[in-house]
Structure 1
Amino acid sequence: MGTRSGVRTQASGIRVSGLRWWMFGFFVLVMIINYIDRASLSIAMPLISKDLHLDAAITGVVLSSFGWTYAVMQLPGGWLVDKLKPRKVVTGSLLGWGVIEGLTGLANGVASLIGMRMLLGVFEGPVQNGANASLTRWLRKSEHARGSTLVDGGGPLGTAFGGLLVTGLIVWLGTWRLAFAGVGLITVLVGVAAWVFMRDNPATHPMITREEADYLAKGDAEEGREPEARGSALRYFRFRSAWLLLIAFFGYDAVVYGLLTWAPSYVSEVQHVSFGITGLWTFVIFGAGFVGELIAGQVADRWIRSGASANLVLRTLLGLAGVGVAVAIILVNTVSTPAAAILLISLANFFLRWGGLYWSVPARLASSQHVGRLSGAMNFSGNVAGILAPILVGVIVQVSGSFVGVFIMFAIAGLLMAVPSVAIDYSRKL
């Protein structure tokens, strides 16, 4: 193995190269592409709904359809990641959903649009489980919070850049249909890069130094090697903490998907912002989420390294996150200007994306052999909320003619995120 410049560890004085952070930087890119593709329909929806003559209720169903198959794929997706390993699953997913994204531009009605979104959900389903499972091999336990929030941070960052990219492509190409083809091509290219760059075992990566491979290999011994798992992953659901995790993530994803699917339409149609400027405001809303995610990961890891217990750190940060979401989002109903409303939504998303810390929890609760499956169960629960939220928003808007009830629903979901989070025992394996 070659030698390259790196960083010196405080404990040993050995210089350790940062390939593991390059690997997770690549996963950030994967998640950015994931959310650009996922959010592309929401961003283009003001144009698509006019082109295909969709009302608010039908729009909610279309926006929800991605979640139908995405949620179903979480449990088999977690199993696939554990069995086939992340490299194969992530590469295959990228190639598959890139093709489907490109073909979405051919949709000519509600049925074909829903069909394309359901296929997109099938291929995107296992990706975040793959990234989360890689965390246990590519990072030490003391780096997990930063790693999980870095990867999950690709979500709001992808939606933010997606607002600019998709809007820019539509304006440049003159149609939302060609914009989908362009984004699909980018995704396929990233899929090829995944196969070239990813490795499931850090020691086999051609770019890793011996020092970094040893640093990662010795992590278990220095931080406490876990016992070999016995029995089925279903055994985790004999414990309260596993169920609380699913409930908290349900509340978290209800707001994530609610904002992801409806924020561009709210900005464009309710606040009467032009389509081009909608992309800029979308960038602000979801860019705030990315900043919040990075801050939460850094604070959590530094606080834990200072000697604080995982229970103190995660209960505090995740509990505050849910309360922050509830307060900021309910205040949207009290302001009268577009700028104030959008900035409050941005603040809510800032606190919301502290929830990226949830992706570090399966590695704390489950043995390494079952992290993918517990992550899949957690994400399945969240994506049930992801199915319901867009439909409920559409129905509320269709019936009431406003978003007031929508923001009340989001505030309740924020509290549903906060309360279980402060009751989970993050300190021991189940």
Structure 2
Amino acid sequence: MTPVRRRAWIVLALLVCLMLVNYADKVVVGLAGVGMKEDLGLDDAEFGVIQSSFFWLFAVGSVLGGWLGGKVRARWLLAGIAALWALSLAPMAAQVGFTTIVACRVLLGFAEGPTTALAMQVAHSWFPAHRRAVPSSIVVAGAGIGPLIAAPVLTWVIVTYSWHAAFGVLAVFGAVITVLWLLGGDSGPEGAGGGHGGVATGPALPERVPLRRLFSTGTLIGMCLLFFVAYANTSVKVSWLPLYLREGLGYDATTAGNLVALPYLGSAIAVIAVGVLSAVLTRRGVGSRMTRGVLPGAMVLASGVCTIAFSSLDRGTLQMVLLVLASCLNSAGYGVAFAGLADVVPAKQRGAVFGIVTGIYSLGGVVAPLVVGRLVAGGESVALGYGDGFMVLGVTMIAGAIAALVLVNPARDAAKLAAE
């Protein structure tokens, strides 16, 4: 293994750690939700506001971070972002009120907004176009590994000590990952991100394409819709799944904490497996429309069907299997979908475009937790309210996935851009 390739995998491991902490920060409010609601006297609608507030400036942070990604060295930019995570979590370790919680979540969302886009940009700078599907999927797997580890650990901290202690633990880990990234993280060789399509034989893209032209391609429109509905699912899982298991289905705190880890375990495995599958299909000559368009679109469609199915079932093994399967299918296509975006976007514009795409799909994270909160608060019972919320989510996912299946075609759009 060459020194550059070895360094590439070290940086990839650090990016996974960043994503791990990033998503652990997201899931902690759901795990601490019952205690927070009891201590602060919050109803479901107010708790929905806390969950949604994380996403209020998420899009702003995504776009700003994407823009800075082309101007500020990745070592310093990602370290500064991780430091902001720690600063936003630290106040929650003490006694705080509703307004302070909302303010801290808004700051955390702003800081975490650009993380996925920047992590993808850095990962793609270390690997050639035809080898990006697996590294992209490994980065996304960090999003599943984070809650997988955090759910049982933070639940134990909450049960043993308090929900404040859980935020303190995450603040410390945020500081640690900041130092680790400063020591070993950075962008890769400029040539690794070359301005070619995602397949080795693809057309050479221009150095720059007007953003209006890029966002008028079927691939970017379809991917934005697909990411929007997929992220709506992700945000509901992060925000409401722990409470659904406890309040809607009646599991105790420890059991719920362990069950919450199952969807993330499945997602981490599935996203890497799909990345490998996409890479194998690419090597065998299968086009990017299938490997990076139809594949993730079909998975989100199937996830929507599973979401509708588990929302209509009573508590039991079958329901939990469908819940885990819905999560796995929803997450599995993220990595190859980002690789599909890279097929169409010139290398020098990826940071900005990934940031804008992240900002667009983060709106699903603003809307979905609020809608579920309203439906839970207005349901005939808590269980029925949750059922209605997941039913609406599943229907929305199916609609978005069908649109993506029709629109996404990276090879076609890259060829059109190259010819202009």
Question: TM-score when scaled to structure 1?
Answer: 0.89
Is 2:256 aligned against 1:273? no
Distance 1:48 1:249 in 2: 30
Deviation (angstroms), 1:224: 6.2
Deviation (angstroms), 1:376: 1.1
- AA aligned to 2:183 is V
Does structure 1 retain, via aligned residues, the 8 Å contact 2:128–2:194? no
Distance 1:153 1:46 in 2: 28
Is 2:234 aligned against 1:256? yes
Distance 2:223 2:86 in 1: 31
Deviates more, 1:99-108 or 1:183-192: 99-108
Deviation (angstroms), 1:328: 1.1
Residue 158 of structure 1 aligns with which residue?
Answer: 146
Residue 44 of structure 2 aligns with which residue?
Answer: 56
- AA aligned to 1:390 is P
Distance 2:282 2:208 in 1: 29
Deviation (angstroms), 1:218: 9.4
Residue 367 of structure 1 aligns with which residue?
Answer: 346
Equivalent of residue 187 in structure 2, options 171, 193, 200? 200
Residue 108 of structure 1 aligns with which residue?
Answer: 96
Does structure 2 retain, via aligned residues, the 8 Å contact 1:329–1:344? yes
Deviation (angstroms), 1:353: 0.7
Distance 1:60 1:181 in 2: 23
CA 1:171–1:77: 2 relative to 1, 3 Å? same
Q: Deviations over 1:180-208 (max 9, x none)?
A: 111111110110110110122348xxxxx
- AA aligned to 2:213 is R
- AA aligned to 1:382 is Y
Distance 1:373 1:420 in 2: 24
- Pairing 1:96-135 to 2, within 5 Å after superposition: 96-106=84-94, 108-135=96-123
Residue 335 of structure 1 aligns with which residue?
Answer: 313
Q: Deviations over 1:217-236 (max 9, x none)?
A: 99979666834423543431
Does structure 1 retain, via aligned residues, the 8 Å contact 2:222–2:403? yes
- Pairing 1:79-90 to 2, within 5 Å after superposition: 79-90=67-78
- AA aligned to 1:198 is G
Residue 210 of structure 1 aligns with which residue?
Answer: none
Partner-residue secondary structure (3-state), 2:410: coil
CA 1:394–1:386: 2 relative to 1, 3 Å? same
Does structure 2 retain, via aligned residues, the 8 Å contact 1:257–1:386? yes
Distance 2:194 2:166 in 1: 47
- AA aligned to 2:327 is N
Deviates more, 1:150-159 or 1:235-244: 235-244
- AA aligned to 1:194 is W
Does structure 1 retain, via aligned residues, the 8 Å contact 2:61–2:113? yes
Equivalent of residue 399 in structure 1, options 378, 381, 389? 378
Q: Deviations over 1:86-134 (max 9, x none)?
A: 2221110111111211222235221111001001112112221211111
- AA aligned to 1:412 is V
CA 1:218–1:134: 2 relative to 1, 3 Å? closer
Equivalent of residue 174 in structure 2, options 178, 183, 187? 187
Equivalent of residue 426 in structure 1, options 405, 410, 418? 410
Partner-residue secondary structure (3-state), 1:351: helix
Gaps of 5+ in 1: 1-5, 8-14, 204-213
Distance 1:16 1:113 in 2: 43
Deviation (angstroms), 1:264: 0.4
Partner-residue secondary structure (3-state), 1:308: coil
Does structure 2 retain, via aligned residues, the 8 Å contact 1:107–1:113? no
Does structure 1 retain, via aligned residues, the 8 Å contact 2:195–2:206? no
CA 1:107–1:151: 2 relative to 1, 3 Å? farther
Does structure 2 retain, via aligned residues, the 8 Å contact 1:252–1:413? no
Distance 1:195 1:366 in 2: 28
Aligned positions, number: 406
**Sequence identity (%):** 22
CA 1:55–1:310: 2 relative to 1, 3 Å? same
Partner-residue secondary structure (3-state), 1:68: coil
Equivalent of residue 24 in structure 2, options 28, 33, 36? 36
CA 1:218–1:368: 2 relative to 1, 3 Å? closer
Deviates more, 1:340-349 or 1:262-271: 340-349
Partner-residue secondary structure (3-state), 2:220: helix
Residue 268 of structure 2 aligns with which residue?
Answer: 290
Gaps of 5+ in 2: none
Distance 2:98 2:83 in 1: 25
Does structure 2 retain, via aligned residues, the 8 Å contact 1:60–1:391? yes
Distance 2:263 2:111 in 1: 27
Partner-residue secondary structure (3-state), 1:84: coil
Deviates more, 1:411-420 or 1:298-307: 411-420
- AA aligned to 1:118 is V
Equivalent of residue 66 in structure 1, options 54, 60, 70? 54
Does structure 2 retain, via aligned residues, the 8 Å contact 1:28–1:152? yes
Distance 2:187 2:46 in 1: 42
Distance 1:89 1:16 in 2: 22
Is 2:409 aligned against 1:417? no
Distance 1:385 1:217 in 2: 29
Q: Deviations over 1:276-304 (max 9, x none)?
A: 12110011122111111111111111111
Deviation (angstroms), 1:336: 2.1
Equivalent of residue 351 in structure 1, options 329, 350, 354? 329
Distance 2:64 2:278 in 1: 30
Residue 381 of structure 1 aligns with which residue?
Answer: 360
Supply the RMSD in Å over aligned alpha carbons: 2.2
Distance 1:382 1:297 in 2: 21
Deviates more, 1:158-167 or 1:218-227: 218-227
- AA aligned to 2:392 is M
Deviation (angstroms), 1:421: 2.3
